[in-house]
Structure 1
Amino acid sequence: MPKIELKTEIKAERKVVFDLSRSIDLHKISTEQTNEKAIAGKTSGLIGMNESVTWRAKHFGIYQNLTSKITEFDRPNYFADEMVKGAFKEFKHEHYFAESNGGTLMTDIFDYKSPFGILGKLADKMFLEKYMTELLTERNRIVKEFAESEKWKELITE
């Protein structure tokens, strides 16, 4: 079961970084390359505890739907989303936020299990883990860009 861990230093208030990380609208911006669209559940704004969203996106040339639900929520410190339905056998994406150097240290832990047994494990080693790391890194780059500028005010209000 691959586990991807990313740490991102962001020069912004923790509550701003937290809210950007749960923004459906920011997620759409950060995944333009896969043409992700929220098609069911919470489709815009800030997702919260026990809410779910279904995404439709093109990965590896194939359109796929994936539904995830917020299963743990402690603003502005932590939240987790877990796959309810989709291409993975399972996944849990944990989001941690800590005050650090006058800003926020955002830590993502994406723990997933690929389908298809040994073939899934082979896909992880060959390309899937790298692909998922790149998607999450791009998402975090966009969170940082919005949080460290005035752009965040376009998506969230205090």
Structure 2
Amino acid sequence: MGFYQFKSSQYFNNSLDELWEFISNPRNLKTITPDYMGFDIQTEDLPEKMYEGMIIKYKVSPALGIKTTWVTEITHVKHQHYFVDEQRMGPYKVWHHEHFLEPAGTGTIMRDIVSYQPPFGILGNLANTILIKRKLNEIFDYRSMALKERFPQE
């Protein structure tokens, strides 16, 4: 059973305040997720700010257009520094996603670390090699592009 990590970082000329305001609002996740993922937040009355213990339910199509339910819990939040979401139900055996913001000169660096384990043992390892790793790259490339549009770099 393979256990993998995906890392991504992006620099913004924007302040930490501006970025935190955007990424700490769970409603904004849909705007930085590719349309082909069919991402749909199912949680009603979603607040504008995340908090520790928050449960968020989504419908998503991670592969082959097959809709699945994904439930995550926000397990840690340190205002303007980081938050962590963990899968409680969904397509992975383990999903732990850390989001970090740190000041860098006059701007901010956003770092993501996704630690995950696909389901199905050796078949999941094969799926990671063939599909999952590539999909994560695509999703985070899209996220990077969407954030550049949202926060233009001058």
**Inter-partner Cα distance in structure 1 for 2:81 and 2:113:** 14
Q: Which residue of 2 aligns with 1:37?
A: 40
The worse-fitting range, judged by mean Cα deviation, of 2-11 and 32-41 is 32-41
Within the candidate set 95, 101, 105, 2:105 is matched to: 101
Output one character per residue of 1:9-57: Cα deviation in whole Å (capped at 9) or x when no partner. Answer: 0111112212322322321122223221110266463322211111101
- SS in structure 1 at match of 2:42: strand
**Inter-partner Cα distance in structure 2 for 1:42 and 1:10:** 31
TM-score with structure 2 setting the length: 0.88
List aligned pairs for 1:52-131, cutoff 5 A: 52-59=55-62, 60-131=64-135
For residue 132 of structure 1, report the CA deviation from its aligned partner: 1.4
**Inter-partner Cα distance in structure 2 for 1:12 and 1:73:** 21
**Inter-partner Cα distance in structure 2 for 1:42 and 1:113:** 31
Percent identity, aligned pairs only, is 22
* Structure 1 residue runs without a partner (length 5+): 150-158
| RMSD (CA atoms) | 1.8
Cα 1:19–1:48 shift into 2, 3 Å: farther
TM-score with structure 1 setting the length: 0.86
| Matched-pair contact (CA < 8 Å) for 1:82–1:93 | yes
Q: How many residues align structurally? A: 149
Output one character per residue of 1:108-156: Cα deviation in whole Å (capped at 9) or x when no partner. Answer: 001100000000001101111110121123223323432348xxxxxxx
Amino acid at match of 2:11: E
